[in-house]
């Protein structure tokens, strides 16, 4: 067997980590919404696609990547707020399959609206000039954009961690996740908290879509694959666990990236094989709470 | 001796819709067969009737898991699609006769159901939906990449069954009406089996599991096994629908395994009425008619489908047939 | 010679993460006994109940039912062995009729050979269900949906369902919780009737009812066995008075 050059493996691992960052962001939004609202948002993939298109649209107008990157989360929050208020809030307290089905239907609508507005073909989108090219570590060339995605994701996660663990809003989130009744007794308007959380999850999904645009392309159906990938990651990482989503997302990115290098035929299914193994051995996932398993 | 005459129902009572419904549900297979037998006369063209037949059966199979057992599967495309591919591969690649091909399709779909169900039932609630969706997508990729046998992206072509000869009967499948009645025979057989399953103690228990899983467990049932059994049986019905669809179309499209196919069957059952015997066929007919009508004035069917679906879940969760039943019971 | 106890717990412990809910509890119950397990909130009585009824496996220790080790078996195997339970929170099939509720429970025992036969031909199951409804006084509402029944009736239905698998050991989790005094009186009568031909273990916190109905009372405190004796012995037990009766009226 020929020896595999170290720098190629290193590059593949880095590519995987950048891909993993996208997974982590999508899964984080999903887990945030699930943890607090107890809703699995099946429109999450569509929000991811919408974020990418929103960013590309903003970019064609402003010509500024950074401005677009700031515009995406706000624009997406504006979609998320009414979704929670008018679509989901009326079905709280009913069977959990109601919000699931509603968001599933919403996903159809959003994807079709994207097709109507931007056409069915993909839109090419490149990384901004400042992030083109590579950085060299010794002999190994790392694409700048992927490094940026990793740094940006780390910063975003740190921000989220700070928000949840260190602020009074975060305290409400954590208390609300455990016992919504107590929080409302304390005089906090829980419905507003829930709306903000849903918008936050939507915004994170949108940012992930825009960040992924230069790496994975922009097509209306881009959310379908990523939604399913995010599901796999939440199942593997553990139901409702943010650290689980981070660990599973990053490792899944690396595994997929290495598989596509060594055994390209299996890169699409390797994730599902891992998920199947986790379900057999530890149905609640790596860091999950056991009540979601049998 | 005093008269012990049991009151014979008056004409008026016999016309009472509730009594009528009681009779209909007692002979539900017969009633379905009768309506389906005249369906080609009621719709604008036979292809629509054939689709109602096939998707109605698919929806009925899905209803066993969703409506009766209470498991929201979002991966039923895998059962329909593998049934179609199994049958298609048997005809187009292996050159088997149609009846053997249908069996191959059933084997494919039942094995898929056993595997997907076996894994997904280890999780609960909404996670069941996520896992079924993911595993179905995994099958989609596998069939997509297995180009040498499945034709990959362009689909499997050449699933030709031009005619059927059973003893003296000769059916020309190029004639859509003859094809319709050929397929109807399978659907009626499947409905007989379906009705029989619902009538068995098994049928009662899966409804119990839907209502209250812990209670069923405390009553001494192996809930995991029963859910799995329901999923596998569902695989038989959905796989048959897929196999019939392969024979009907002559090709198997990779889209039959795509998640939108799972979405379609969920919509049909919700539109018709989950957990009801006739609901899936009513839902399939309504969904396909709507699609047919919309196609005349817009190419954005997915938008309409999504909106109708949202409206249905939000304001009309019992579905068409479910609402009729509820009104009659009230 | 000592009679073999119907159920015996040997050194049962149960931990949840770092929290010890039960610590090395050993107990046995004679066949035909009507016993109660009591204790303040967090004493571990629900944990013990769940372990004895098979819905929870102990972290350490063994459960012997009629001399057979049943530790760690899944719930449905406990039921088939002859142990049945009712839930603390009302737990019925709300959309099914009262009769169907009991029939589904009863047919669990014929499952296997008759599982795919026509339901309507299982006359035996049907009659078992009818007889049970008479026993708990629900024959008049057999055709109503279970979800429509009054609270007390739903609890009675639950008992009928627990009885449907002909258990030799019946475990009842706070059977009178949330009941009016009138309903409680009916339930106590029902339980006394049931206890004539089988072993019944209650988990309760209504002290007065427990002392009135039971032949034997077991008191748990902080996951450990505090006292075990006749109602009279319990009433006069200094430890029990200190941790339980003294805390307020029950």
Domains of chain B: 29-329 (1.10.3470)
- What is the CATH code of the structural domain delimited by A6-286? 1.10.3470
B220 contacts in chain C (CB < 8 Å): 76, 79-80, 84, 105, 108-109, 111, 165
φ and ψ at residue C56, rounded to 5 degrees: -140, 140
φ and ψ at residue A143, rounded to 5 degrees: -60, 130
pLDDT of residue B92: 94
In this complex, the chains that touch A, judged by 3 or more CB pairs closer than 8 A, are B
pLDDT of residue B5: 41
CA of B301: which chain A residue's CA is closest?
A: A112
A292 contacts in chain B (CB < 8 Å): 123-125, 127
Alpha-carbon distance of C191 to C196, in angstroms, equals: 9
pLDDT of residue C244: 67
> Cβ of C107: how many Cβ atoms within 10 Å?
29
- Whether B201 and C109 lie within 8 Å, measured CB to CB: no
- What ranges do the domains of chain C cover? 1-82+167-250, 92-166
Mean pLDDT for each consecutive 10-residue tract of chain B (330 residues)?
43 56 77 91 91 97 96 96 97 94 97 96 85 93 92 90 86 90 96 93 90 88 94 98 96 94 94 93 95 88 92 90 85
Between chain C and chain A, are at least 3 CB pairs below 8 A?
A: no
- What ranges do the domains of chain A cover? 6-286
Ranges of chain C with pLDDT below 70:
1-2, 110-114, 119-121, 244-250
- Which is nearest to B190 in space by CA: B250, B102, B306? B102
DSSP B9-20: PPHHHHH-HHHH
Alpha-carbon distance of A110 to A209, in angstroms, equals: 14
Choose between A209 and A143: higher pLDDT. Answer: A209
Residue to test with chain B: of C88, C105, C157, most B Cβ within 10 A: C105
pLDDT of residue C249: 43
- What is the CATH code of the structural domain delimited by C1-82+167-250? 3.40.50.300
Residue to test with chain A: of B254, B306, B316, most A Cβ within 10 A: B306
pLDDT of residue B1: 39
pLDDT tens digits along A72-96: 999 999 999 999 999 998 888 788 7
Choose between B9 and A139: higher pLDDT. Answer: A139
B194 contacts in chain C (CB < 8 Å): none
Distance, in angstroms, between B41 CA and closest chain C CA? 35
pLDDT of residue B142: 93
Residue to test with chain C: of B215, B229, B230, most C Cβ within 10 A: B215
Partner residue facing A283 (CB), from B123, B129, B310: B123
Choose between A194 and B1: higher pLDDT. Answer: A194
pLDDT tens digits along C146-169: 989 988 889 889 989 988 888 999
CA of C94: which chain B residue's CA is closest?
A: B211
Alpha-carbon distance of B302 to B258, in angstroms, equals: 14
Strand, coil or helix: what is C153? helix
A108 contacts in chain B (CB < 8 Å): 263, 302-303, 305-306, 309
Please, which residues 221-280 of chain B have a Cβ atom closer than 8 Å to chain C? 221-223
- Bridge-based pairing state of the strands C169-173 and C199-203: parallel
């Amino acid at each position: 067997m020929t020896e595999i050059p170290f720098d190629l493996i290193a590059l593949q691992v880095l590519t995987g980590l950048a891909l993993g960052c996208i997974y982590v962001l999508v899964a984080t939004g999903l887990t945030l919404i699930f943890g607090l609202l107890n809703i699995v948002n099946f429109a999450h993939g569509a929000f991811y696609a919408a974020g990418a298109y929103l960013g590309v649209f903003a970019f064609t107008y402003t010509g500024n990547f950074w401005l677009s990157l700031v515009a995406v989360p706000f624009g997406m929050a504006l979609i998320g707020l009414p979704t929670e208020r008018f679509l989901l809030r009326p079905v709280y307290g009913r069977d959990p399959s109601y919000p699931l089905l509603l968001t599933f239907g919403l996903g159809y609508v959003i994807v079709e609206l994207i097709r109507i507005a931007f056409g069915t073909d993909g839109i090419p989108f490149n990384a901004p000039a400042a992030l083109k090219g590579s950085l060299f570590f010794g002999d190994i060339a790392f694409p700048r954009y992927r490094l940026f995605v990793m740094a940006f994701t780390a910063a975003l996660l740190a921000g989220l961690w700070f928000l949840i663990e260190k602020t009074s809003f975060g305290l409400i989130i954590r208390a609300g996740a455990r016992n919504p009744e107590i929080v409302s007794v304390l005089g906090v308007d829980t419905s507003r908290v829930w709306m903000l959380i849903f918008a936050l999850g939507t915004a994170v999904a949108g940012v992930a879509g825009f960040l992924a645009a230069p790496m994975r392309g922009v097509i209306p159906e881009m959310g379908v694959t990523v939604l399913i990938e995010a599901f796999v990651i939440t199942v593997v990482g553990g139901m409702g666990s943010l650290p689980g989503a981070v660990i599973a997302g990053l490792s899944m990115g690396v595994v997929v990236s290495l598989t596509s290098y060594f055994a390209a035929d299996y890169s699409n299914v390797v994730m599902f094989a891992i998920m199947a193994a986790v379900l057999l051995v530890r149905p609640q996932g790596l860091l999950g709470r056991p009540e979601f398993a049998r | 001796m005093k008269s012990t005459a049991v009151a014979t129902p008056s004409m008026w009572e016999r016309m009472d819709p509730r009594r009528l419904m009681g009779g209909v549900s007692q002979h539900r297979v017969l009633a379905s067969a009768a309506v389906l037998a005249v369906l080609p006369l009621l719709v604008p063209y036979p292809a629509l009737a054939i689709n109602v037949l096939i998707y109605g059966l698919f929806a009925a199979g899905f209803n066993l898991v969703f409506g009766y057992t209470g498991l929201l599967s979002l991966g039923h495309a895998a059962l329909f699609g593998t049934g179609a591919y199994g049958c298609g591969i048997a005809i187009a690649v292996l050159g088997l006769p149609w009846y053997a091909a249908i069996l191959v399709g059933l084997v494919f779909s039942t094995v898929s159901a056993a595997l997907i169900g076996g894994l997904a039932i280890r999780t609960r609630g909404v996670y069941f939906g996520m896992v079924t969706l993911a595993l179905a997508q995994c099958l989609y990729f596998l069939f997509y990449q297995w180009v040498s046998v499945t034709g990959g992206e362009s689909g499997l072509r050449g699933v030709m069954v031009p005619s059927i000869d059973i003893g003296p009967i000769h059916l020309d499948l190029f004639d859509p009406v003859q094809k319709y009645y050929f397929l109807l025979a399978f659907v009626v057989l499947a409905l007989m089996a379906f009705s029989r399953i619902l009538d068995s103690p098994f049928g009662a228990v899966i409804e119990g599991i839907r209502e209250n899983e812990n209670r069923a467990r405390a009553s001494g049932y192996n809930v995991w096994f029963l859910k799995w059994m329901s999923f596998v049986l569902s695989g038989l019905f959905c796989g048959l629908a897929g196999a019939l669809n392969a024979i009907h179309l002559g090709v198997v499209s990779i889209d039959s395994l795509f998640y939108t196919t799972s979405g379609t069957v969920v919509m049909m059952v919700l539109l018709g009425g989950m957990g009801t015997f006739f609901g899936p066929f009513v839902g399939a007919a309504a969904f396909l008619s709507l699609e047919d009508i919309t196609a005349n004035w817009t190419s954005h069917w997915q938008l309409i489908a999504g909106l109708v679906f949202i409206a249905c879940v939000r304001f009309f969760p019992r579905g068409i047939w479910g609402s009729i039943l509820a009104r009659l019971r009230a | 010679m000592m009679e073999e106890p119907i159920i015996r717990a040997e050194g049962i412990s149960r931990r949840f993460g770092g929290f010890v809910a039960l610590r090395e509890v050993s107990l046995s119950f004679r066949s035909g006994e009507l016993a109660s397990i009591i204790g303040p909130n967090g004493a571990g009585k629900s944990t013990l109940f769940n372990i004895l009824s098979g819905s929870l496996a102990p972290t350490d220790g063994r459960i012997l039912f009629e001399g057979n080790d049943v530790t760690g078996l899944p719930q449905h195997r406990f039921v088939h062995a002859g142990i049945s339970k009712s839930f603390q929170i009302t737990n019925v099939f709300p959309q099914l009729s009262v009769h169907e509720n009991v029939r589904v429970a009863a047919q669990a025992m014929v499952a296997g050979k008759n599982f795919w036969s026509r339901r309507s031909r299982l006359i035996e199951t049907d009659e078992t269900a009818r007889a049970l409804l008479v026993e708990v006084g629900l024959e008049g509402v057999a055709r109503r949906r279970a979800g429509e029944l009054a609270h007390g009736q739903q609890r009675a239905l639950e008992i009928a369902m627990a009885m449907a698998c002909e258990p030799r050991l019946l475990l009842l989790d706070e059977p009178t919780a949330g009941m009016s005094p009138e309903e409680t009186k009916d339930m106590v009568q029902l339980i006394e009737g049931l206890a004539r031909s089988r072993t019944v273990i209650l988990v309760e916190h209504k002290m007065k009812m427990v002392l009135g109905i039971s032949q034997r009372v077991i008191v748990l405190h902080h996951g450990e066995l505090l006292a075990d004796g006749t109602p009279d012995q319990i009433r006069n037990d200094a430890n029990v008075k200190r941790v339980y009766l003294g805390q307020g009226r029950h």
